[in-house]
Chains A and B, each alone.
Chain A
């Protein structure tokens, strides 16, 4: 106790000095933390279109506040909040927080428009060189009352002995089937029980089979395979982590990183360790299902002292608690005499609840007006929502400023984003989502971290809003969001890793796949166009070099592509042609491009590559198949391809298993006379020499 007190005092004093200049701090003294204020996925659409996930209220308190409290609890003195989407909102929120916490903690916000993943964020942080020592990496949607001190000590001790331990992951014990688990986060881990080193890590995600590399069992005396752990996305990282992210620019998520470290462990020697939490609470609000689970846990006080009736700063609204878990705002809550609050109810300040209304297991925000005979069950109603008489809201989420008119039934799994108006007298289908923002087609959709609001509003100003009134009711305001746009509500949870990748990196992935085709089509376009326009070969070389660098290709690749493009010329230009026209065309083009091909196919291996390309082309095109000998002769005569590569190609047959082997043999039979002529010619020339 005394030591922690002294530590805090020291921190306070250090801060005063820091007012003059940050340099007075020594790196050992301060504990830094990075909050990633962005989820980099779509789980909360359409809500996150207007408000970042970290600011969504959980039991009437922004999620980010929970995370910051957790870090304060851990004794962190320097917090960086990294935000991408809606960074203006986060910064505005933090402004006030920074002021009220300036006595115990230094908070800075970092903005970026470009980061599309955790990897990008960490690379940016590394660029800005703000991390001076080991730091805590946490996502901005964590609710936890965990005491990190022990984990930190373990980590420090380990780092003292072994600099190669780059990260300590915090894992929470949670039995399968527990409500804090969701299938998209399910994972299985292999841990060395001796030193808690992570040996293998795999997301299970509906797979029924899991495979482990045999080496982990061979190399370690004991291995724990654990399926009862939950990754709470809190990790104590050494500064190496950001460096590693920078070095490996393909790391997008923390899973990429873990996988990368584990795979290359033998080469780089880097290791990841784990720390298992048993008693304390730590769960991430990663999707709506978890939002529900975590809200209930907070109401049930598992996250104590992060509960509504504990004031964290004197400015916050306070709550009074009565059993069974009924929290009422301290200021101006008007409850009608006959209303029934059964259990697990939170009602914010300045709310009124009408006669005969029943509320159960729900959270009501500040400033809500709830009419008479309303039933609200298992629902989350944010601030300033007005619900008229005789409504029924079950298992749904209503964002700020929604208006529910008379006799509306909102069924299980509905989500109403900001300012939606429903009713009167309609019933909403299960699992539907509504927003005042118009949904965009999937391919245009950006993820949480880009604000599309500016453009949206312009669009709306242009055309008179045609709200989906057939569904929303005669006075409704808002649009229906089709489920295929997000496809992840409550039950339907796809693996986050896959969806994240395909969502945020679709451009990059597509790039990889089409790369080769694209390159080839560019080359053949240049060749064909160049021949048609009689462009000088040098210019085409420039053009090809451009493509070569753009697609990161080798000289051999270019040579093969050029040859293929020429081979392909006649078939693509004129559909029907006889052998002679083919040959004359080839002769013309090859002689035209002689210098160009020579420029690329200088070495023997390049030339062999070209021959192989021609061979493959011949196998596919029966008309050219019989012309192979003449083509080779032509190329030989034009001095494009030399004797040695031809002979080497000839003797080099693919392995027996190859399906095309017989065809290749036939091809070589066709070429046989040419080869023997070559040999003879060689002998003759050698004889001549003698």
Chain B
């Protein structure tokens, strides 16, 4: 596709669109459930979409992506990883467009005073004055490249987190966790490795959620995974997480949350908006449908997530290192552009 031709009508590649729809159907039907896979799938679909779609400049591309993102996030409101990846990609489009422009300007102003131009760049480089509509031949390639970087980061996030386990887990510690988190599993496996070096296996006791409080006093640390980290540092985690975090607070046990950066959402939680926050699923885990006439007489509610407020969390261990809940806003700010928060 040559860029010298008259402007194209921005258009999403229909194949890529179809792939996205297929992915949505799979998400709906629960064929893909781990948020790592969701994030990875979304990113590679986006890469595919960007490389095959038609657009003239960064602005048009961003519009395409953000309409698509809006559609997708409305269809699967509870899977925040999808929206996060859309926003990450939008941010990198912005950055690439800006840096291309910067280099072009720099090229133009080469004859001008070196110092002046640097100062100029310093002042205005990240400013809003960037013209995103300027066409550029490098744009597509640069964006694909930076999405590739995001993908690599995603793939390595698990390892990166697990690698930090030695700093946080010491010998003879009792650790409590909840649910089934891939990240936490990798984290503890790293620990297992460390322990096996000291010729010591991990004793595991499975307890019910009703025994959390009773057991908490014997626990040194609580390590949990999460579905999403909200922008204020609160967690959207599997139900029971609030209970465990509350019990930990009472016993002054530190709560450590293992999470990769793709789980950080730029959204805040608001209590009235259960729809986009929680996911209420079929109540058959609570009571069997075949249990008879009682089913029609009661209301059964089976929410998937708990909201854990940031003050109950001690530390986040991310693939970029450990951060405190109060610092989450900063990380979010780095990852997403404020204009992209609402798709």
Question: B99-107, B183-191, B282-290: which one contacts chain A?
Answer: B282-290
Shortest Cβ gap from B86 to chain A (Å): 15
Question: A112-120, A315-323, A416-424, A544-552: which one contacts chain B?
Answer: A315-323
Cα–Cα, bound, A103→B23 (Å): 10
- Chain A's closest residue to B37 (CB) is A1
Q: Does A12 contact B (CB under 8 A)?
A: yes
Q: Are B71 and A314 in contact (CB under 8 A)?
A: yes
Q: Are A179 and B74 in contact (CB under 8 A)?
A: no
Q: Does A175 contact B (CB under 8 A)?
A: yes
Main secondary structure of the interface of A (DSSP, over half): loop
Give per-residue flags for A150-182: 1 if the beta carbon is below 8 A from chain B beta carbons, else 0: 000000000000000000000001110111100
- Taking CB atoms, residues of chain B closer than 8 Å to A293 are 296
- Taking CB atoms, residues of chain B closer than 8 Å to A179 are 293, 295-296
Shortest Cβ gap from A341 to chain B (Å): 14
Cα–Cα, bound, A278→B288 (Å): 8
Cα–Cα, bound, A104→B26 (Å): 10
Q: Does A257 contact B (CB under 8 A)?
A: no
Per the 8 Å Cβ criterion, residues 415-435 of A in contact with B are none
Cα–Cα, bound, A1→B182 (Å): 15
- Chain A's closest residue to B280 (CB) is A301
Q: Are B290 and A278 in contact (CB under 8 A)?
A: yes
- Chain B's closest residue to A174 (CB) is B290
Q: Are B292 and A304 in contact (CB under 8 A)?
A: no
Q: Does B167 contact A (CB under 8 A)?
A: no
Q: Are A4 and B290 in contact (CB under 8 A)?
A: no
Main secondary structure of the interface of B (DSSP, over half): helix
Known: A173-B290, A281-B282. A305 touches B31 (CB 8 A): no
Q: Does B11 contact A (CB under 8 A)?
A: no
Per the 8 Å Cβ criterion, residues 279-312 of B in contact with A are 280-284, 288-293, 295-296, 299-302
Q: Are A309 and B22 in contact (CB under 8 A)?
A: no
Inter-chain contact total with CB atoms closer than 8 Å: 99
Which of B26, B31, B292 contacts A177 (CB under 8 A)?
Answer: B292
Which of A4, A228, A303, A310 contacts B31 (CB under 8 A)?
Answer: A4
Cα–Cα, bound, A8→B31 (Å): 10
Cα–Cα, bound, A5→B302 (Å): 28
Q: Does A108 contact B (CB under 8 A)?
A: no
- Taking CB atoms, residues of chain B closer than 8 Å to A177 are 292-293
Q: Does B5 contact A (CB under 8 A)?
A: no
Q: Are B28 and A312 in contact (CB under 8 A)?
A: yes
Q: Does A93 contact B (CB under 8 A)?
A: no
- Chain A's closest residue to B291 (CB) is A175
- Taking CB atoms, residues of chain B closer than 8 Å to A8 are 22, 26, 31
Cα–Cα, bound, A177→B293 (Å): 7
Per the 8 Å Cβ criterion, residues 15-51 of B in contact with A are 17-19, 21-22, 25-26, 28-34, 37
Q: Are B75 and A311 in contact (CB under 8 A)?
A: yes
Q: Are B275 and A321 in contact (CB under 8 A)?
A: yes
Cα–Cα, bound, A322→B22 (Å): 29
Known: A12-B18, A314-B75, A321-B274. A300 touches B290 (CB 8 A): no
Shortest Cβ gap from A72 to chain B (Å): 6
Which of A228, A279, A311 contacts B284 (CB under 8 A)?
Answer: A279
Cα–Cα, bound, A36→B30 (Å): 27
Q: Does A73 contact B (CB under 8 A)?
A: yes
Cα–Cα, bound, A280→B296 (Å): 16
Cα–Cα, bound, A302→B19 (Å): 29
Cα–Cα, bound, A37→B123 (Å): 67
Q: Are B275 and A300 in contact (CB under 8 A)?
A: no
Cα–Cα, bound, A235→B41 (Å): 34
- Chain A's closest residue to B18 (CB) is A103
Known: A12-B18, A314-B71, A320-B275. A302 touches B32 (CB 8 A): no
- Taking CB atoms, residues of chain A closer than 8 Å to B300 are 300
Known: A72-B29, A301-B282. A12 touches B22 (CB 8 A): yes
- Taking CB atoms, residues of chain A closer than 8 Å to B74 are 311, 314, 318
Cα–Cα, bound, A103→B45 (Å): 15
Which of A180, A278, A305, A314 contacts B30 (CB under 8 A)?
Answer: A305
Shortest Cβ gap from B302 to chain A (Å): 8
Shortest Cβ gap from A624 to chain B (Å): 69
Shortest Cβ gap from B72 to chain A (Å): 8
- Taking CB atoms, residues of chain B closer than 8 Å to A607 are none
Q: Are B289 and A302 in contact (CB under 8 A)?
A: yes
Known: A5-B32, A103-B21, A318-B74. A302 touches B284 (CB 8 A): yes
Known: A279-B284, A300-B300. A175 touches B71 (CB 8 A): no
Q: Are A296 and B30 in contact (CB under 8 A)?
A: no
Q: Are B25 and A104 in contact (CB under 8 A)?
A: yes
Q: Does A522 contact B (CB under 8 A)?
A: no
Shortest Cβ gap from B116 to chain A (Å): 50
Q: Does A324 contact B (CB under 8 A)?
A: yes
- Taking CB atoms, residues of chain A closer than 8 Å to B71 are 314
Cα–Cα, bound, A302→B295 (Å): 10
Q: Does A343 contact B (CB under 8 A)?
A: yes
Q: Does A145 contact B (CB under 8 A)?
A: yes
Most chain A CB within 10 A, of B26, B37, B290, is at B290
- Taking CB atoms, residues of chain A closer than 8 Å to B21 are 103-104
Q: Does A204 contact B (CB under 8 A)?
A: no
Cα–Cα, bound, A363→B26 (Å): 29
Q: Does A196 contact B (CB under 8 A)?
A: no
Cα–Cα, bound, A302→B296 (Å): 11
Shortest Cβ gap from B33 to chain A (Å): 8
Cα–Cα, bound, A302→B17 (Å): 31
Which of B19, B30, B32, B299 contacts A300 (CB under 8 A)?
Answer: B299
Per the 8 Å Cβ criterion, residues 313-359 of A in contact with B are 313-314, 318, 320-325, 343
Cα–Cα, bound, A483→B292 (Å): 31
- Taking CB atoms, residues of chain B closer than 8 Å to A173 are 290
Shortest Cβ gap from A154 to chain B (Å): 20
Cα–Cα, bound, A48→B104 (Å): 69
- Taking CB atoms, residues of chain B closer than 8 Å to A303 are 282
Q: Are B281 and A304 in contact (CB under 8 A)?
A: yes
- Chain A's closest residue to B282 (CB) is A304
Cα–Cα, bound, A175→B292 (Å): 6
Cα–Cα, bound, A300→B29 (Å): 19
- Taking CB atoms, residues of chain B closer than 8 Å to A4 are 26, 31
Give per-residue flags for B204-230: 1 if the beta carbon is below 8 A from chain A beta carbons, else 0: 000000000000000000000000000
Most chain A CB within 10 A, of B25, B292, B296, B302, is at B25
Which of B26, B275, B293, B296 contacts A5 (CB under 8 A)?
Answer: B26
Per the 8 Å Cβ criterion, residues 47-82 of B in contact with A are 71, 74-75
Known: A8-B31, A145-B282, A175-B290. A322 touches B274 (CB 8 A): yes
- Chain A's closest residue to B33 (CB) is A1
- Chain B's closest residue to A293 (CB) is B296
Q: Are A104 and B31 in contact (CB under 8 A)?
A: no
Q: Are B31 and A1 in contact (CB under 8 A)?
A: yes
Which of A175, A318, A323 contacts B301 (CB under 8 A)?
Answer: A323
Per the 8 Å Cβ criterion, residues 336-392 of A in contact with B are 343
Cα–Cα, bound, A322→B291 (Å): 26
- Chain B's closest residue to A103 (CB) is B18
- Chain A's closest residue to B41 (CB) is A5
- Taking CB atoms, residues of chain B closer than 8 Å to A296 are 296
Cα–Cα, bound, A8→B20 (Å): 12
- Taking CB atoms, residues of chain B closer than 8 Å to A102 are 18
Q: Are A279 and B288 in contact (CB under 8 A)?
A: yes
Shortest Cβ gap from A10 to chain B (Å): 11
Please list 27 pairs of residues, one from A and one from B, whose beta carbons are closer than 8 Å in the complex, sorted by A's number: A1-B33, A5-B31, A8-B22, A73-B29, A103-B18, A103-B21, A104-B21, A175-B291, A177-B293, A178-B292, A178-B295, A279-B284, A279-B288, A279-B289, A281-B282, A281-B289, A297-B289, A301-B280, A302-B284, A309-B275, A310-B28, A311-B74, A314-B74, A318-B74, A321-B275, A321-B280, A323-B301
Closest 8 pairs (CB-CB, A-B): A103-B18, A304-B282, A103-B21, A73-B29, A320-B275, A314-B71, A304-B281, A175-B292
Can you name 12 extra interface pairs (CB under 8 A) apart from A278-B288, A281-B284?
Answer: A104-B21, A145-B282, A228-B290, A300-B300, A302-B282, A304-B280, A305-B28, A309-B275, A314-B71, A322-B274, A323-B274, A343-B299
